[in-house]
Chains A and B, each alone.
Chain A
Amino acid sequence: MRSIILAGLCSAALLTGAAYAQSGAPIKIADVAELSGGGATVGNNWKNGIDLAVEEINAKGGILGRKIEVSHADSQSNPGVARAQVQKALDGEPYVLLGPGYSGSVKVTAPLAAEAGITQIMGGEAAELTQAGNKFLFRTSFGQQSSMPKVAKYINDELKAKSVAVVWVNNDFGRGGRDVITKEFNRLGIKVAADLSTEAGQADFAADVSKIKAAAPDAVFIYVNEEESARILKEIKRQGVTAPLIGETTLVGQKVIELAGDAANGARGHVGLTTDAPVEAVKAFRDRFVKKYNYVPDHNGLKGYLAIYMVKATTEKMGKVDSKAFADTLHGLTIKTSAEPNILMDVTFDQNGDIDRQGFLVEVVEGKQVVKQVLPKLN
């Protein structure tokens, strides 16, 4: 009889232990980002944003009582490497996959995550990414289909421009942006005075700027990556082009301002996320980030940070850690700052994984981003 009681007690102890291990095991999240190569600025900001959010959440006891454990892998800013790293990360059966930041890398990795049924929260902005019917892919910032109409409207309503030169980079990101904005210009009756395709990594923009000068547009829309933005801004200043320069985050980001110096002054753009936003929660985030890393993050730092709080809010909404139900829960979900203050601004996710949130129109004034207009959330 004594042995039966003993066995019973042992079994009970083992079962309790197993149950405890199940509920207390850390939530594994995998991140694949551009930690080296051309996109190192993007990837490292993204990673640091993630780490800051994880540290905050774990310090408060984690999500539903479970700590978060994040692994970071380097895509080297190369879609081929990104694909291999994502495959490796998925083999580890993560709860959610984060990254990459480059649209080209997202494009080749998204089918892998979808096939594994794992939600992928990424930083890419190319319009086509969320238009392929992938039910597991979510953005952390606006896609081009959300941001470009706002830029076109600003050029039409505020600048009253009748003709625009469009400068774009010949890759997935640039082509996507150019296609959407050209369609918007056509709709608004704005003439595309020059349609200039440039190459990724292009060093010399003298000929492109000469063409802009010859076309004499009312405004210039620039949609190239950060380094090329800096080079073309310098060349535009060198050749004395005076038309207003409009773009997106990649024209007015911190790195562009650092590289282009005075030439960046006057450039205007729509940004979905900026640490200069007139929002108290964003300012507080910026202070916490600067305290931890000793530099001011760009929008990618915000994206990484928000990705983790998207995971937290969605999981708490479900009331359980369930990777299979995660995507379904996030579709159509609105996360309010009243419920989750660290989501920083109210945000809604639609059925494609695109987001609706307030945005900003900024201008570079004396080497600093100045928010000129707040564009409200649509719904």
Chain B
Amino acid sequence: MSNLLDLIVAGLATGAIYALVAVGFTLLWQTSQTINFAQGEFVMLPAFLMLAVMHLGAPFWLAVLVGIALSALLLGLAFKMLLVDPMLRHGVLPLAIATMALAIGIKEVVKQFFSAEASPFPSIVPVGDVSILGRAISLQSLGVLAVAILAVVGLTTLLNRTSLGHQMQAAAQNPTVARIIGVPVERMILLTFLINAVLVALASVLITPIYLAKFSSGEVLGQAAFIAAIVGGFNQVRGAIAGGLLIGVVDNLAAAYVSTQYRAAVPMLLLILMILFRPQGLLGRAEERTV
């Protein structure tokens, strides 16, 4: 039983990171019908940007801030203007394929400029345990969970409680009407790209101390977050959060109680079941086809 609790806490911590990445998937989908298959590499890259800044002699906290800013610039602004805008007019599929190419490009560039070998990455949370209800719980797990929850709460507050958030939702739900009532739709879409870039940078800071900085580490993350977004509901931020946490826990329980070899198959199975029996996801809205 105590083992089960450990597994659930560790699973929630990993799941919270998946949730951050999955939220980005849903934001981009809602505002610009972009399915970003490079989302995993978007999590991998900021860690290397931060390491590069640290190589220049900057302290870790400064490297994190610069890394987040560079991420917003490259993975938010440049991604939207140089890839999404020109490709989207050709349809969702060419854009999705372009993001796959981008994923390969990012991996190869990182491999070329840094190395194919893994590098260590500092943790923002100290190593140690804290006793909760007589159980020793890892400070790192709690720290990751806390930062991820804060980020998600901040995002949902922005979306639901502020005028800016309402404008973003309006731009996402019906851009034509939003334009008529004076919402700067283009700026709102750009904002979601920037938010996604910041979320992936945050996920990068949280996951890289555990996974190590390596050019290929985005593959696992991207896949887990994509499954989380679909299982939770691709068109709802809260769905992506629920999906992320669920996949984190299911993945950990599968590794412990099914087998390590089949751990990757269990979330996939969940994905198939969800598509068959509840295609809109756990908390998603059913959408009618427009054509």
Say which size band chain B's interface belongs to.
Answer: 35 or more
A261 located at the interface, meaning its Cβ lies under 8 Å from any Cβ of chain B in the complex: yes
Q: In the complex, which of the residues A38, A197, A259 contacts B259, with contact meaning CB atoms closer than 8 Å?
A: A197
Kindly specify which of B7-15, B47-55, B171-179, B225-233 makes contact with the partner chain: B7-15
Q: Is B120 a contact partner of A40 (Cβ separation < 8 A)?
A: no
A59 located at the interface, meaning its Cβ lies under 8 Å from any Cβ of chain B in the complex: no
With A and B bound together, what is the CA distance between A239 and B252 in angstroms?
14
With A and B bound together, what is the CA distance between A350 and B111 in angstroms?
41
With A and B bound together, what is the CA distance between A223 and B36 in angstroms?
37
Between A196, A210, A239, A259, the greatest number of chain B beta carbons within 10 A of the residue's beta carbon is seen for A210
With A199-B261, A210-B10, A211-B256 already in contact, the answer to whether A238 and B119 are too (CB < 8 A) is no
B217 located at the interface, meaning its Cβ lies under 8 Å from any Cβ of chain A in the complex: yes
CB distance from A25 to the nearest CB of B (A): 36
Q: Is B10 a contact partner of A207 (Cβ separation < 8 A)?
A: yes
**Contact partners of B146 in chain A: CB under 8 A:** none
A339 located at the interface, meaning its Cβ lies under 8 Å from any Cβ of chain B in the complex: no
With A204-B210, A204-B211, A206-B252 already in contact, the answer to whether A239 and B6 are too (CB < 8 A) is yes
A-contacting residues, B125-177, CB 8 Å: 127, 129, 136, 138, 140-141
Q: Is B115 a contact partner of A40 (Cβ separation < 8 A)?
A: yes
Between A207, A211, A260, the greatest number of chain B beta carbons within 10 A of the residue's beta carbon is seen for A207
With A and B bound together, what is the CA distance between A234 and B123 in angstroms?
11
B275 located at the interface, meaning its Cβ lies under 8 Å from any Cβ of chain A in the complex: no
With A238-B141, A240-B129 already in contact, the answer to whether A227 and B260 are too (CB < 8 A) is no
**Contact partners of A40 in chain B: CB under 8 A:** 115-117
B66 located at the interface, meaning its Cβ lies under 8 Å from any Cβ of chain A in the complex: no
B214 located at the interface, meaning its Cβ lies under 8 Å from any Cβ of chain A in the complex: yes
**Contact partners of B3 in chain A: CB under 8 A:** 210-211, 213-214
B-contacting residues, A216-241, CB 8 Å: 227, 230-231, 234-235, 237-240
B216 located at the interface, meaning its Cβ lies under 8 Å from any Cβ of chain A in the complex: yes
Return the chain B residue nearest A198 by Cβ: B260
Between A202, A234, A237, the greatest number of chain B beta carbons within 10 A of the residue's beta carbon is seen for A234
Q: Is A213 a contact partner of B216 (Cβ separation < 8 A)?
A: no
A262 located at the interface, meaning its Cβ lies under 8 Å from any Cβ of chain B in the complex: yes
A203 located at the interface, meaning its Cβ lies under 8 Å from any Cβ of chain B in the complex: yes
With A and B bound together, what is the CA distance between A258 and B213 in angstroms?
13
**Contact partners of A198 in chain B: CB under 8 A:** 260
Q: Is A238 a contact partner of B261 (Cβ separation < 8 A)?
A: no
B270 located at the interface, meaning its Cβ lies under 8 Å from any Cβ of chain A in the complex: no
Q: Is B118 a contact partner of A213 (Cβ separation < 8 A)?
A: no
Q: Is B220 a contact partner of A203 (Cβ separation < 8 A)?
A: yes
B255 located at the interface, meaning its Cβ lies under 8 Å from any Cβ of chain A in the complex: yes
**Contact partners of B254 in chain A: CB under 8 A:** 207
Q: Is A203 a contact partner of B120 (Cβ separation < 8 A)?
A: no
Say which size band chain A's interface belongs to.
Answer: 35 or more
CB distance from A326 to the nearest CB of B (A): 33
B278 located at the interface, meaning its Cβ lies under 8 Å from any Cβ of chain A in the complex: no
SS class, residues of chain A in contact with chain B: helix
Q: Is B140 a contact partner of A207 (Cβ separation < 8 A)?
A: no
B-contacting residues, A98-115, CB 8 Å: none
With A and B bound together, what is the CA distance between A77 and B6 in angstroms?
36
Q: In the complex, which of the residues A41, A208, A214 contacts B260, with contact meaning CB atoms closer than 8 Å?
A: A208
**Contact partners of A262 in chain B: CB under 8 A:** 127
Q: In the complex, which of the residues A227, A239, A261 contacts B138, with contact meaning CB atoms closer than 8 Å?
A: A239
**Contact partners of A207 in chain B: CB under 8 A:** 7, 10, 252-256, 260, 263
With A and B bound together, what is the CA distance between A201 and B219 in angstroms?
11
With A and B bound together, what is the CA distance between A204 and B263 in angstroms?
11
**Contact partners of B120 in chain A: CB under 8 A:** 230, 258-261
Return the chain B residue nearest A34 by Cβ: B116
CB distance from A227 to the nearest CB of B (A): 5
Q: In the complex, which of the residues A36, A206, A230 contacts B10, with contact meaning CB atoms closer than 8 Å?
A: A206
Shortest beta-carbon contacts, A-B, top 3 = A207-B255, A206-B10, A214-B3
Besides A198-B260, A240-B136, 6 more A-B contacts (Cβ < 8 Å) are: A40-B115, A199-B261, A207-B252, A234-B209, A239-B138, A262-B127
- Residues of chain A whose beta carbon lies under 8 Å from any beta carbon of chain B: 36-38, 40-41, 77, 170, 196-199, 201-204, 206-208, 210-211, 213-214, 227, 230-231, 234-235, 237-240, 255, 258-263
- Residues of chain B whose beta carbon lies under 8 Å from any beta carbon of chain A: 3, 6-7, 10-11, 14, 111, 115-120, 127, 129, 136, 138, 140-141, 209-212, 214, 216-217, 220, 251-256, 259-261, 263
